[in-house]
Amino acid sequence: MGFFGRLIRRRREEANEASENVLFKELVLRAASRYDAARPSRELDAYWSRADSLGGDAALDPDTRRRLRERSRYEFANNCYARGAGLLWANAVVGSGPRPQLLGDDRKFNKRVEWAFCEWAEEIGLAAKLRSMRVSRFVDGEAFALLHGNPNLAGPVKLDVSPFDAERVRAPYDSNDPLDVDGLKIDEYGNPVSYRVASTRLGDLSVDFCRYGSRRSVPSSWDVATTYKANEVVHWFRRTFSEQRRGEPELAVALPLFALLRRYTLAVVAAAEIAADYAAVLSAERVRGRVRLEAAGIAEMVRRSRNRARVGDDVAGRLFVDATSSGATDDDLRRF
228, part of any domain? yes
Domain shared by 229 and 308, yes or no: no
258, part of any domain? no
Domain shared by 244 and 307, yes or no: no
Domain shared by 305 and 179, yes or no: no
269, part of any domain? no
Q: What is the dihedral of CA 201, 202, 204, 209, to 10 degrees?
A: 150
Describe the crossing of helices 126-139 and 62-78 by its angle, rounded to 10 degrees: 110
Domain shared by 66 and 161, yes or no: yes
167 CB-near residues (< 8 Å, 6+ apart): 66, 69, 198, 201, 202, 203
300, part of any domain? yes
What is the value of pTM for the model shown?
A: 0.69
Residue 229: phi and psi, rounded to 5, are -70, 160
Domain shared by 191 and 96, yes or no: yes
Tens-digit pLDDT profile for residues 97-137: 999 999 989 999 999 999 999 999 999 999 999 999 999 99
Give me the domain span that covers residue 294. Answer: 277-335
Compute CA 48 distance to the chain's CA centroid, rounded to the nearest angstrom: 22
Tens-digit pLDDT profile for residues 171-210: 887 778 888 898 999 999 989 999 999 887 766 666 555 5
Question: Can you give the pLDDT at residue 91?
Answer: 94
Rounded distance, CA 121 to CA 115, Å? 10
263, part of any domain? no
271, part of any domain? no
Domain shared by 13 and 156, yes or no: no
Domain shared by 299 and 224, yes or no: no
Distance from the first to the final alpha carbon of the chain: 85
Closest CA to 143 of 162, 124, 123, 119: 162
Rounded distance, CA 300 to CA 315, Å? 27
Run of H or E residues at 225? strand 225-229
Question: Can you give the pLDDT at residue 122?
Answer: 94
How far, CA to CA in Å, does 93 sit from each of 97, 106, 134, 250, 273?
9, 30, 8, 15, 40
Rounded distance, CA 328 to CA 173, Å? 76
Rounded distance, CA 70 to CA 202, Å? 12
**Domains: count for the chain:** 3
267, part of any domain? no
Domain shared by 286 and 202, yes or no: no
214, part of any domain? yes
Domain shared by 22 and 92, yes or no: no
> Exposure string (b/e) for 288-304, b if CB count within 10 Å is 16 or more?
eeebebeebbebeebee
Strand partners, 12: none
Domain termination residue (choose one: 217, 251, 285): 251
Domain shared by 199 and 66, yes or no: yes
Domain shared by 247 and 220, yes or no: yes
Compute CA 242 distance to the chain's CA centroid, rounded to the nearest angstrom: 24
Domain shared by 45 and 83, yes or no: no
Question: Can you give the pLDDT at residue 274?
Answer: 83
10-residue mean pLDDT series, the chain (336 residues): 62 66 60 68 82 87 92 93 93 92 92 94 95 95 95 93 93 83 91 91 60 48 82 94 91 91 91 74 51 46 44 40 49 54
Q: H helices of the chain, where?
A: 3-32, 56-59, 62-78, 80-93, 107-124, 126-139, 209-212, 255-276, 299-304, 330-335
Rounded distance, CA 77 to CA 47, Å? 31
Question: Can you give the pLDDT at residue 147?
Answer: 96
